[in-house]
Amino acid sequence: MNPASGETLRVEGVPWWVVVGGLGALIAYPLVFTMPFHQHIVIMALLYGTLGTAWNILGGYTGQVSIGHGVYYGIGAYTAAYFYVNFGLSPWVSWPLALMIAFVAAFVIGLPTFRLRGHYFVLASVFIAEAVYIIISNWDMVGGAIGLEYPIHRAESSLDALWHLQFHKSKLPYYYGILTLFVASVFVSWRIRFRPLGYFLKAVSEEQDAARSLGVDIARYKMVALLISVLFTTLCGMFYAQYVMYVEPVNTMSLIVSLEIAFIAIFGGIKTLWGPVLGAFIIIPVTEFLRANFSGHIALDQSALAEGGIGAWVDYYMAGGGGNVDLLVYGLLIIIIARFQPNGVIGFFHRFD
């Protein structure tokens, strides 16, 4: 941002008209593309864009590589589902509770583990998330390994639907809901960088010891970054629960969920404002498309076997038949980016550095 120089106003390297145009395109998109699947893809991209941005505030700006954000995502999803399924309480009521639980969890997890560095912090975050996963999977009150399923609410009016946050006729309310959250997260992630907090976070991530010797209260700033990150992650969890109306340990707090959240930011490029956004809008459409088109198992019949050939024989007996292509591509993309462009996709655009 340097308006005095007479150049185009830029938001972290991107000209302002691109930012405004992009936002306009996102607002207009569901009105142009009315197919539910097309809307679904962008809803997921916005959801993961928010998650990646939130992750980046901790993992990127402060360098605390957490592979345990599934905990907060899960707390959001489970709180929304639990109160709705058992007491009919809408997320409008339960969100302060979800945030409270998530913040307490963040304190309990953050305080001791922020002293750890490098691999130790990474492993600690994985183990804490796995421990929470095991406890939730065995906790009957929240449905154990099966999880919680929402009852379908037939709304009498649009106000009623809004209160219950269930929309069955159109995806638009979900779309604009997550778009709002996404814009808010990007805005916070952007503004942080110009506040003292942002400079301290940068100092913490780059020269921890030097920052400490200058009297920067490292633990405090890491905690602030974690809380901001947790705020958005928890709200995303609540959104997800309302959107799919089904919460289980595997889809909200497993290791793969925590990894996916971090992958988005890392793939796009951490420590940058636009990296996680770019990551989400590249990875999610690809994987959602693959999941929709290549998740079925190819059925192989006995006659192919009778015709012989080593290929048919191997196919028949080993017969997996092509599930999980989305994760296959996911893993490959991450390996490639880590191997060839550790700065993420955004590293290809030098001017954004």
Partner 1 sequence: MIYVQVALDGLIVGLMFALVAMGLSLIYGIMDVVNFAHGEFMMIAMYASFFMWTYLGFDPLLSSPIIAVCMFGFGVLIYRWLGKYLVGATLIPQVFATFGLMVFMQAGANFLWKADTRTLPENWSSGLFQFDGLFFNMAELVAAGGALATAVLMFWFINRTETGLALQATAEDQQAARLLGIDTDRMFAIAWGLSAATIGIGGVLLSTYYVINPLVGVKWVLPAFVAVAIGGFGSVLGAFYGGIIIGLIQVGGGFLTSANYKTLFAYGLFLLIVLVRPHGLMGRK
- Residue 39's φ and ψ, nearest 5 degrees, are -70, -40
**Site for partner 1 contains 321 (CB under 8 A):** yes
Q: Which of 333, 326, 345 is nearest to 287 (CA)?
A: 326
* Residue ranges in 203-262 that form contacts with partner 1 under rule CB under 8 A: 255-256, 259, 262
Residue range at the interface with partner 1 (CB under 8 A); choices 124-132, 162-170, 196-204, 229-237 = 124-132
**Site for partner 1 contains 108 (CB under 8 A):** no
**Site for partner 1 contains 140 (CB under 8 A):** no
**7 token code pair:** 């150049």
Q: Which is nearer to partner 1, 175 or 263 (CB)?
A: 263
Where helices occur in the chain by DSSP H, the ranges are: 16-32, 36-59, 70-87, 91-113, 118-137, 158-164, 172-192, 196-206, 208-213, 218-244, 249-253, 255-268, 275-294, 302-306, 310-318, 325-340
In the complex, what is the shortest distance from the CB of residue 41 to partner 1, in angstroms, rounded to a whole number?
20
**15 token code pair:** 């000209």
Please tell me whether residue 35 adopts helix, strand or coil conformation. coil
**Site for partner 1 contains 309 (CB under 8 A):** no
Which one among 67, 81, 98, 178 touches partner 1, defined by CB under 8 A?
67
**Site for partner 1 contains 24 (CB under 8 A):** no
Residue range at the interface with partner 1 (CB under 8 A); choices 3-11, 224-232, 301-309, 329-337 = 329-337
* Cβ count near 78 (within 10 Å): 26
Which one among 266, 273, 283, 284 touches partner 1, defined by CB under 8 A?
266
CA distances from 52 to 112, 215, 264 (A): 24, 30, 5
> What is the distance between the alpha carbons of residues 344 and 353, in angstroms, rounded to a whole number?
11
Which one among 170, 172, 332, 348 touches partner 1, defined by CB under 8 A?
332
Q: Which is nearer to partner 1, 27 or 335 (CB)?
A: 335
Name the DSSP class of 246: E
In the complex, what is the shortest distance from the CB of residue 290 to partner 1, in angstroms, rounded to a whole number?
11
Q: What is the DSSP string of 326-346?
A: HHHHHHHHHHHHHHH-TT-GG
Q: Which is nearer to partner 1, 85 or 264 (CB)?
A: 264
Q: Which is nearer to partner 1, 128 or 181 (CB)?
A: 128
Which one among 29, 324, 347, 349 touches partner 1, defined by CB under 8 A?
324
Q: Which is nearer to partner 1, 33 or 120 (CB)?
A: 120
Buried b (16+ CB within 10 A) or exposed e, 193-222: beeebbebbbbbbeebeebeeeebebeebb
Binding stretches for partner 1 (CB under 8 A): 63, 65, 67, 112-113, 115-116, 118-120, 122-124, 126-128, 130-131, 134-135, 137-138, 255-256, 259, 262-263, 266, 270, 297, 317-328, 330-335, 338-339, 342
